[in-house]
Each structure stands twice: as C-alpha cells, then as structure tokens.
Amino acid sequence: MEDKSYNPYQNAQAQFDRVAEMIGLDDAARQFLRQPMKEYHFTIPVHMDDGSTKIFNGYRIQHNDARGPAKGGIRFHPQETVDTVRALAMWMTWKCAAVDIPLGGGKGGVICNPRDMTEGEQERLCRGFVRRIAKDVGPFIDVPAPDVMTNAKHMLWMLDEFEQIHGGRYPGFITGKPVGMGGSLGRTEATGYGVIYTVREALKSMGLDIKGTTASIQGSGNVAQYAARLFQELGGKVVSVACWDAADQKAYSYCKNDGLDAEMLGEITDSYGTIDKEKACDIGCTLTPQDAWLEQDADILIPAAMENQINMTNVHKISKQVKIIAEGANGPINTEADEVIRNSGIFVIPDFLCNAGGVTCSYFEQVQSNMNYYWEKEEVLQKLDTKMTSAFKAIKEVSERNQLYMRDAAYFISINRVAQAVKMRGWV
C-alpha cells in the first residue's frame, strides 16, 4: 500500500478488461462486473482508553453475489484505501468462482493501526464496525472473515455484536472464529497449505518433485508461516523470508542458504508478523535488504504479504533460476511487471487460485456453522486438498487447451461462471 501511484482497483479492472475482451463478454455484463454492486462507507466513533473519542473510517464493499452470499475478509490497516477494498472484493468474486464454491465477493476495511490500540479499543472498534453494517450483512447475505491484522478474537467480538443486535445465534455470519466457538479445525493453516497444494501440482505438471526444491517467501504472517511449514514438511527448503519491521519502519529479508527452520522462525515472529531481528541472527539468518528475497537462487517465489510487491522497480531482480511464482498474497504483481513475467516463461499461479485455500476453508466453516456439526481436522484438510487440486487442474487444462497464461485461464473460468450466473438470474 506504500506506493501512492499504484491503484489496486485499476489493476483489478485492467485484468478483468483483458479477459472480458478475450472471451467477447457483452457490454452490459462487462459494465456490471467491472464495478461493485454495493458499497458502504461509514465512520466509527470509538471511545479510547485515555478518555478521548477517535473517529475511524470503515468500508464494506460487495462486488457480486450472483453465485451466493458475498464473502471476504476485514482488514485493519493504517494505509487502507477504498480502492484497495474495491479491488479485493472484486478478486474475491473471481476467487470463489475459480474454486467453484457457491459464494460471491466482498471485502471490508478500517483505516487504523491495531498495533497502537489496546485490546479494549480494538474490541470497541470491532463492535462499532458491526453496528454500522448489521442490516446489510449476515449468513445469507455477506459473510466476513479475518484478513490483514485481524484475527479470531476480532471475529468473535463481531459475531457477538451481530447476535446481540439480531437477538439470536448466527454462527454462520462470520468465519475465522475460534475453534470451539463455531470455528473450523484447519482454518488457521488453510491459506498457506492451499498455496503449497497448488505449488505441488505445478511442479508435478513440470515433471518435478517438490522434494529438494527451494523457495523464497515474502511475508511472515499466517499465510507465509504455514506455507513454509508445509513446504518444508513435503521436503522443500525455504532459503529466505522477507517481512516488514514495525520498529524500523522498513522491510528486511532473512536469508539462510542451508534452509530456514519454519517452526523455529514462527516462534520468533509476533502476532502481527514481525520477526525478532536479534533472535533471527542467533539462529543463523543473514539480514539483507528488502528485495533480496527476489534475488535468491530459488526454484519458487511466494509473495505472501501485500499487493504491488513485484513491480517495475524490482521485477528485473528476479533470479533466472526461478521456475514458479505462487501468489500467496492478493495482487502482489502489478500489471506492468506481470507483462515482464508473462514473457519470461516463469509459471505463475495466480492469486485467486493460489491463495483460495482460505476462502475455501471459510466456506467449509460456514457450512459447519450453519448445520451445527463440525468435521475433524484431517477431513477438513483432505477436502481442501481435493478442492484446490481440482481447481488447479481445471485452470491448467484451460491454459493448455487455449494456450493462455495461467492468470488469463483462471479469469477465463471465473468470469464465465459469474457472467453465466448473472445472465441466468436475468440481471443483464
């Protein structure tokens, strides 16, 4: 979000326009799908612990619900913008369609920095957010979830506020809840594991075994941590992890040629994804500049932090050894850099396929919450693997049959599925 010249919503629309033109989508459907159906902009007054009242700006945007209730996380971030939320809502529509789950796309955000807020202030912000949108969301309308700098505790506060307002128990209103309070086993691991399921299938399609391959990861939050753990468990080696340091207000890459221990790295990372520099050095990491993660001689790059992290200022730094870029984050490669990568021959697993494990497991949680019956962890992860593998194979088949870039193939399937639902409902 740091690059003021980058507009994620324009990036999302450009990606859509490219494929809409390719598949000959009619003008009405194109106009309808390139912008959100509904937007909610609101202010949230919060009584702070020091006795003052602070006003926060919040958003909930529903891009499309033709295939089912809108679905998408809520971000708390000091540099949140309405265009970021619009883009993410749009990408959620395509993501749900890509893995063929009966949900649409939505997203929420609040401009705030939870690192600077007490737990009580965060709870009041969560409850205030729900009060602003309680009539416009729900288990059969729009189902929120955690995202950047929000967690299971935030979701439970939001659920409690929603249930207080509506006078009942509605565990299917929100996902990412604590296990035992309507949450699903396997949800914590789901997005990161889903990334590696698609990496495994991409390597198979190249005739390569994941064992012995190397990866460089940007990000040290939930997605990056669990991707690193499963990658290591399957025999791969993580040689670099990059993350933002809140104290220094800049990013670093932590590199180790003989491989980082994912479990140990997780132990020295705080709840906001900041790695303890001193402890990292104690376990043998080399502290290097921000873009060093791109320059590693790794087989796989996994950008799993924020949008616009690979752009025209650094795309040429990517090592020639890289075979796969797996987009663990939403929109980590901007449009111009994507053209460079498209022409380089690197195999890209697009974000709304690669990181769809989270929303897929959120769908599983929603189903379990609505029927008040919960599955064992092994069953959840097996269903997740099956869904992600099936989606990868379907998109790969379209890519090969039509000689399309994987991102275009994913859009090809997603846009067609959503456009068909819109037309069948008679909306356009």
Instruction: Categorise residue 285: left if φ over 0, alpha if ψ from -120 to 50, beta otherwise.
Output: beta
Contacts of the segment 243-249: beta carbons below 8 A, 24+ positions apart? 243/218, 243/219, 243/269, 243/273, 243/274, 243/275, 243/305, 244/273, 244/274, 244/305, 245/274, 245/275, 245/277, 246/115, 246/272, 246/274, 247/274
Instruction: Categorise residue 348: left if φ over 0, alpha if ψ from -120 to 50, beta otherwise.
Output: beta
Cα 61 to Cα 42, 118, 120, 136, 151: the distances in Å are: 11, 27, 26, 10, 20
Taking Cα atoms as reference points, which of 104, 153, 152, 157 lies closest to residue 129? 157
**Residue 173 burial by Cβ neighbours in a 10 Å radius (0-12, 13-18, 19+):** buried
CA distance 159 to 144: 10
> Out of 95, 107, 177, 396, which one is annotated catalytic?
107
**91: Cβ–Cβ under 8 A, 6 or more apart, which residues?**
12, 105, 330, 331, 351, 352
Is 71 labeled as catalytic in the residue annotation?
A: no
- Tokens 């979000």 locate to 1
Catalytic machinery residues:
107
